[in-house]
Amino acid sequence: MLTQVPLDLVRTTAYVRTVRAQIREKAALTGPKSIALASRWPDQEEFRGAYGQTSRPLVVRGATEGWSIGNLSFGGFVERFGHVEVDLRDPDYKTALANGRPARRSTIAEYAEILARAPNGASLPYLANQPLPPELAAAISLPRYFPAERYFVRMWLAPPGALTTLHSDFADNFMVVVFGRKDLILFSPDQETNVYAEETAPTWSEDRSVPLVLLAKVDPEKPDVTRFPAFRQDAAHPCRLDDGDALYIPGGWFHHVRSSEPTLTITFFASQAAPLAYGSAG
Tell me the Ramachandran region of residue 163: left when phi exceeds 0, alpha when psi lies from -120 to 50, beta otherwise. beta
pLDDT surpassing 90 at residue 148: yes
Is 97 contained in some domain? yes
**Coil, strand, or helix at residue 237?**
strand
Is 35 contained in some domain? yes
pLDDT tens per residue, range 64-90: 999 999 999 999 999 999 999 998 987
**Coil, strand, or helix at residue 240?**
strand
Range of the domain at 206: 13-269
Q: Where are the beta strands (DSSP E) in 110-250?
A: 127-131, 152-158, 163-169, 173-179, 182-187, 197-200, 213-216, 237-241, 246-249
Q: Residue 189 burial by CB count (10 A; 0-12/13-18/19+): exposed, middle or buried?
A: buried
Q: Which amino acid is at 24?
A: R
Is 48 contained in some domain? yes
Is 194 contained in some domain? yes
pLDDT surpassing 70 at residue 277: yes
pLDDT tens per residue, range 17-52: 999 999 999 999 988 789 999 999 999 999 999 999
pLDDT surpassing 70 at residue 190: yes
205 confidence band (pLDDT: 50, 70, 90)? low
Which range has the top average pLDDT, 92-101, 183-192, 210-219? 183-192
C-alpha–C-alpha distance, residues 246 and 177, integer Å: 6
- The count of other CB atoms within 10 Å of the CB of residue 6 is 8
Is 282 contained in some domain? no
CATH number at residue 144: 2.60.120.650
Would you tell me the crossing angle of helices 108-117 and 74-81 to the nearest 10 degrees? 140
pLDDT at residue number 203 = 63
Is 278 contained in some domain? no
Is 2 contained in some domain? no
In this prediction the pTM is: 0.92
Is 1 contained in some domain? no
DSSP 197-213: EEEE--TTSSSTTS--E
Q: How many structural domains is the chain composed of? A: 1
Whole-number Cα distances in Å, 237 to 17, 134, 233, 240: 24, 35, 9, 10
101 confidence band (pLDDT: 50, 70, 90)? low
